[in-house]
Amino acid sequence: MKTIEIEPTFESWQAAARALLRDETPPAQVRWREASNARQPSLPHEPTSSGAVKVPRQFLELARQAAAASDPARWQILYDVLWRLVHEHRDLLKDPHDPGIQRLHGLLTPKAAGPDGDGAARLVPAGAGLGELRAAAARCTGCDLYRQATQTVFGRGSADARIVFVGEQPGDQEDRQGAPFVGPAGEVFDRALAEAGLERENVYVTNAVKHFKFEQRGKRRIHQTPRATELQACRPWLEAELTLIKPDILVCLGATAARAIFGDTFRITKDRGRFAATRWAPKTIATYHPSAVLRGETETQQAELYAMLLEDLQKVAQA
């Protein structure tokens, strides 16, 4: 991890960002810190055409405006977008639904986070560890789900975990206890982990959405699938977790988590069980959520779903 000290100006950030790009340093390996009279990184006086970094003029204009914001996370947000413009998608700025672009535009039009705000993006502390992220997420009001839920259910596990599991959202018991995968689905998950040869203590477990969404029916709270806007509002927390942990293997449990990582075209029924590289992990795979096993209509169907879940977890263990 590199700690880059800059003066809180666009020019200081730009010079540092150029040096980082020249050294092929990805955003996940950079921690930004503001400091007066910070030493500027050394740069060639006349970069050659082959070494020059070309980005859309629109980005430079947005970056200058964002640099004037007060959010300390702005330098990290800017460098993340810059890196992706250079290395992944030159037309990234044209995608208004991209979380990074939304965070960038959120810097330009500051507003209070909340049900009418811009999701959790402005609540995520820059350069924070898991403990700091968990404490900040406990106060999250990035969407309306916090109003009914008992508490935020943040991820659990070590920042050194090589494997990260991402589910959809906490269930009834998770919401009450404040920990992921501790209800009936958690029991299925733990059994499958054990049979696959994986230890819960050695993995990190989290959800794409951190608050329980439900419909009250009498005394029962019935799970409801999060909307796309709720997934989007909560995504900055998941991105912060994955950026910090940098797992070797990322496992998506269920369709909602899989679409959050792979995109809307992903289908569990036909795409599960195959490793693919994503921006979050070199090996990313999706499988059925443990709750799907519980929803099986017959014992035979439950056994079949469990067998597929176990098969995919065994692939993870072998990898």
List, for residues 261-302, the tens digit of each pLDDT value.
888 888 898 889 999 998 899 999 999 999 999 999 999 999
- Tell whether the model's pLDDT for residue 312 goes beyond 90: yes
Instruction: Give the Cα separation of 77 and 62 in Å (integer).
Output: 12
> In this predicted structure, what is the pLDDT of residue 108?
73
| Strand stretches in 95-230, DSSP E | 163-167, 203-207, 214-217, 220-223
What kind of architecture, by CATH, is found in domain 121-318? Answer: 3-Layer(aba) Sandwich (3.40)
| Alpha helices for the chain (secondary structure H) | 10-22, 57-67, 74-87, 99-108, 130-137, 172-177, 184-196, 228-245, 255-262, 268-271, 290-294, 299-318
> In this predicted structure, what is the pLDDT of residue 52?
58
Q: Which residues are CB-contacts of 57 (< 8 A; sequence separation ≥ 6)?
A: none
- The residue ranges of every structural domain in the chain are 2-108, 121-318
Task: Average the pLDDT over 254-259 and give the result.
Answer: 92
> In this predicted structure, what is the pLDDT of residue 117?
44
Cα dist. 301→197, 293, 294, 295, 297 in Å? 24, 8, 10, 9, 6
Strand partners, 217: 220
Average pLDDT over all residues of the chain: 87
Place of tokens 């806007």: 229
Give ∠ CA 148-152-155 in degrees, rounded to 5: 145
